[in-house]
Amino acid sequence: MSKIDALKKNQSTYDVVVIGAGAAGFFCAGNIAENRPDLSVAILEKSNKILSKVLVSGGGRCNVTHACFEPKELVQFYPRGKRELLGPFTRFGPSDTISWFEDRGVALKVEDDGRMFPETDNSQTIANCLQHTAFSSGVQLLLNTEVVALDRKNDRFELTLRDGEKLHARFVVVAAGGYPKATQFAWLTAIGHHITEPVPSLFTFNIPGHRILELMGVSVPHATVTLPEHDIITQGPLLVTHWGLSGPAALKASSAGARKLSQCGYHCKVQVNWVNMASNTVVEKLLKAKRNNESWQSGPWQDIGLPKRLREFMLQESGVDRYQRWADVPDKVLESLATCITEYELEAKGKTTFKEEFVTCGGIDLKEVNMKTMESRFHPHLYFCGEILDIDAVTGGFNFQAAWTTAWHTAQAIISN
């Protein structure tokens, strides 16, 4: 009999059962067990792995949080959960995350763009810290243990496992992550909870067959991406890949438009301003270069901020005759060059998963959860934390921050109960 089987046979009742051995589950279980050694706490995990997303996150470095310490500013990064997270972030935000890890011997560092990583640049450091916190405080772990049903039996919950066994608990925390399919929520909708339909977020845009793909590898630091049919405008670095558009500006657009884009089958217009400047400003710079009789090589390019390959592409797209002197190019042609640079029209047909980070938009309806305690409004002593909730953010450490924050609130509610 394996150690896990032995554990299951020996104990079928716990004070607290946490479903899911991910970031939220470990953080929650560890906090409870550290503060309430009198409670028996178990994490149930359906797979044979723990903290698997933490380990692969941030390209193996784990982008733990973001150096954004003002809750009102922080919530702007959450297309889902913006309003509801304001209170929770006020009580436990990025500075608390930094202190929490620091108190347990893990120093975090901040990068120029605000993303925070462990100083070791190794996600294993974060996984080790979470495991140590939980296991040194007596949390038990049951692997290959999938919960398929949850029932309320008097003052307890009865959890039915995939193999038919039953476990019982006074408190149940659902930290089961983002389910990509609505059917996977069946065991939670069966007890009366509702979900907002899950759809993917944080993906890149496919632009099949377009000549822009010749520019694979070209990136600009300050682009504006507009999805005109969906009223979505985002800004940031943008990268041309061999299948389409990626980089922060594209990912933010995918996050902001996750649901609408799913509805239109990821087929939509995409307008790119490659330099994040008004068309008039670019026209003025081009006309000034014309007046000064500048050459095609020098010109105002550095000022406009177009990389060489992109510049050559734009000249070609707008029909500029490269054998003409700049001074001889008609103003109309320069205007159309400025339009190309600031309002370049593309058509997205499909999406590609962003391997560095992807999340589910959708999940347990936040109206059914008390955001002070993360307790179900239908079932006392049932809690939700992490990506199972209808909360998700853009890239940058915000998704983990939501997991730490909601798990911390859950833990506090159980600790003080």
What is the closest distance, in whole angstroms, from the C-beta atom of residue 258 to ligand FAD in the complex?
14
Q: Is 317 exposed, middle or buried (0-12, 13-18, 19+ CB in 10 A)?
A: middle
What is the closest distance, in whole angstroms, from the C-beta atom of residue 380 to ligand FAD in the complex?
21
Size of the site for ligand FAD (CB under 6 A): 33
Q: DSSP labels for 314-353?
A: HHHHTT--TTS-GGGS-HHHHHHHHHHHHSEEEEEE-EEE
Which residues lie across from 267 on neighbouring strands? Answer: 349
The number of angstroms, rounded, from the C-alpha of 303 to the middle of its chain's C-alpha atoms is: 34
Assigned token pair, 71: 């809750």
Look at the chain and count its residues: 417
* Contact pick of 34, 357, 375, 390 for ligand FAD (by CB under 6 A): 357
Please report whether residue 397 would count as binding ligand FAD according to CB under 6 A: yes
The answer to whether 74 touches 68, Cβ cutoff 8 Å, is: yes
Please report whether residue 53 would count as binding ligand FAD according to CB under 6 A: yes
What is the closest distance, in whole angstroms, from the C-beta atom of residue 353 to ligand FAD in the complex?
9
* Contact pick of 21, 41, 220, 239 for ligand FAD (by CB under 6 A): 21
Residue number with CB closer to ligand FAD (140 or 224) = 140
Sign of the dihedral through C-alpha 394, 399, 405, 406: positive
Compute the distance between CA of residue 411 and CA of residue 96 in angstroms, rounded to an integer: 14
Using CB under 6 A, which residues numbered 154 to 183 contact ligand FAD? 175-177
Q: In the chain, how many H helices and how many E strands?
A: 15, 21
Nearest Cα to 58, choosing from 392, 369, 412, 358? 358
Compute the distance between CA of residue 255 and CA of residue 394 in angstroms, rounded to an integer: 6
Q: How many CB atoms lie within 10 A of CB 320?
A: 20
Residue number with CB closer to ligand FAD (81 or 397) = 397
Please report whether residue 398 would count as binding ligand FAD according to CB under 6 A: yes
Compute the distance between CA of residue 341 and CA of residue 339 in angstroms, rounded to an integer: 5
Residue number with CB closer to ligand FAD (335 or 356) = 356
What is the closest distance, in whole angstroms, from the C-beta atom of residue 268 to ligand FAD in the complex?
24
Binding mask 230-269 for ligand FAD (x = CB under 6 A): ----------------------------------------
Please report whether residue 47 would count as binding ligand FAD according to CB under 6 A: yes
Nearest Cα to 69, choosing from 100, 101, 98, 106? 98
Assigned token pair, 246: 């990626």
Residue number with CB closer to ligand FAD (310 or 394) = 394
Compute the distance between CA of residue 221 and CA of residue 306 in angstroms, rounded to an integer: 10
Please report whether residue 146 would count as binding ligand FAD according to CB under 6 A: yes
Please report whether residue 23 would count as binding ligand FAD according to CB under 6 A: yes
Distances (CA, A) of 399 to 79, 85, 266, 278: 11, 12, 23, 33
* Contact pick of 8, 16, 18, 22 for ligand FAD (by CB under 6 A): 22
Please report whether residue 226 would count as binding ligand FAD according to CB under 6 A: no
* Contact pick of 171, 400, 404, 408 for ligand FAD (by CB under 6 A): 400
The stretch near ligand FAD (CB under 6 A) out of 21-29, 34-42, 132-140, 217-225 is 21-29
Assigned token pair, 206: 């496919």
Residue number with CB closer to ligand FAD (18 or 245) = 18
What is the closest distance, in whole angstroms, from the C-beta atom of residue 147 to ligand FAD in the complex?
4
Residue number with CB closer to ligand FAD (310 or 393) = 393
Contact set with ligand FAD (CB under 6 A): 19-25, 44-47, 53, 56-58, 62-63, 146-147, 175-177, 356-359, 386-387, 397-400, 403
